Amino acid sequence: MNDKLLVVGSVAYDCIETPADSADFILGGSASYAALAASYFAPTMISAVVGNDFKDSDIKRLTARAIDLSDVRFDSSKPTFFWRGKYHKNFNSRETLDVRLNAYENFVPQLGKDAQGAKYVLLGNISPEIQAATLDLVKAPQYVILDTMDLWITTAAESLNNLIKRCDLLIVNDSEAKLLAGTQNIICAGNELLKSGAKTVVIKAGEFGAMLFHCEGFFVVPAYPITSLHDPTGAGDSFAGALAGYIAGAGKVDFETIKNGMLAGAATASMTVESFSCYKLEQYGIDEINRRREFIKNISKI
Ligand code: AMP
C-alpha cells in the first residue's frame, strides 16, 4: 500500500465560450483538473484514456507537476474525449453544445501495481460504471471520494447509488444534491444524503462556498472572493482534487482534516477560474494557494 492519491475521471479537450472570451482544444476533463489541483498536496496518479490527438505539450504540463501517468492508456484509433460548452450572460449557467466520448467508448480501466496499492482514491466525474470498475481494481482503498454530475444522477441512478455506499465522502454541487436527494432545501438535501447511505457529504455552492455534512458536525467554507472570473470550467473538479490531495497528503481523514481540505479546495478552485484550463493555477503555484488558504481562514473567524 502507498500514500499516493489515485484520480479517476476524464482527460479531455474542451472548446469553451464565455461572455468575454473563447478557447479551443484546451486541456480539460475532470481528472486533469483534479490531478493538477491535488498535485500541490500529495503524490498523484491518474487513471484515464487519451486518444491519437493528445499533445506532448499537455503530457508535459501534467508531468511538470510530477503527476504519474503510467495508468493513462493511449487509444491510437480514436481522438481524446471532447467537450464543447458555452456560458450564458454573467456566467450564471452553461450549456453543453457537444460531448464525444471518443477514446472512452471502449475504455476498460486497468491499473498497474502502484495504483492498485493506492490508499486514497478520488473517483472524479465520469460514468459510475468506469468509476466502479476502477475502484474494483484497487486492493485496499482506505478513503474513497466520489464526485459526479447531474447526467449520471438522471441516467445511471442505480449504479451511482450503489457506488455512493462504497465511498467515504460524496461531493456534489447544490443543484445535484437537490436532484439526488429529491428536495429543494440544500440543508435537507445534505441531511437526506447522509441518511440514504453517504458517510460524509460536501455540497459545493460555487461563489457561495461549500458545506460539509459530517457525523461530528456541520461546517461551511466561503469561496475566495475573486474579481477576475475568466472561465468557471473545472472549479468543482479542482475543489475535489485539492480536498482529496490534502487528505492524502495529511494521511488523516478526521473532521478537522476534511475542514482544512475544504480550505485547500476553495483556494485552488478560485485560481482555476481565473483562466482557461489550469494555466493560472500552474503559474501561481503553492505560494498563492497558501496565501489564499490563510485569507479564507481569516475572513471566516470573528
Ligand atoms: P466542471 O466545470 O467542474 O463541471 O468540469 C468541467 C470538465 O468536465 C470539462 O473539462 C469537461 O471536459 C468535463 N466533462 C464534461 N462532461 C463530462 C462527462 N460527461 N464526463 C466526464 N467529464 C466531463
In this prediction, residue 164 has a pLDDT band, given cuts at 50, 70 and 90, of: very high
Q: What percent of the chain has pLDDT over 90?
A: 96
Number of separate domains in the chain: 1
From residue 159, alpha-carbon distances to 130, 146, 167, 213 in Å are 10, 13, 13, 23
Mean pLDDT of the chain: 97
Interval 52-95: pLDDT, tens? 999 999 999 999 999 999 999 999 999 999 999 999 988 888 99
Encoded amino acid at 224, one letter: Y
Interval 230-246: pLDDT, tens? 999 999 999 999 999 99
CATH of residue 106: 3.40.1190.20
Cβ-Cβ contacts under 8 Å for 11 (sequence gap 6 or more): 27, 29, 31, 32, 46, 48, 49, 50, 54, 72, 80, 81
In this predicted structure, the answer to whether residue 47 has a pLDDT above a threshold of 90 is yes
Atom of ligand 1 nearest to the CA of 151: 19
Distance 171 CA to ligand 1 centre (A): 15
Interval 181-223: pLDDT, tens? 999 999 999 999 999 899 999 999 999 999 999 999 999 999 9
Encoded amino acid at 26, one letter: I
pLDDT at 170: 98
In this predicted structure, the answer to whether residue 137 has a pLDDT above a threshold of 80 is yes
Distance 217 CA to ligand 1 centre (A): 31
In this structure, the residues whose C-beta lies within 6 A of any atom of ligand 1 are: 10, 12, 14, 28-30, 83, 99, 125-126, 151, 233-237
Instruction: Tell me which of 122, 233, 243, 276 to substitute to probe ligand 1's pocket, judged by most ligand atoms within 8 Å of the beta carbon.
Output: 233
pTM for the whole thing?
0.97
Q: In which domain, by residue range, is 35 found?
A: 5-299
Cβ-Cβ contacts under 8 Å for 287 (sequence gap 6 or more): none
Distance 127 CA to ligand 1 centre (A): 11
Give the separation between CA 193 and CA 15, rounded to whole angstroms. 34
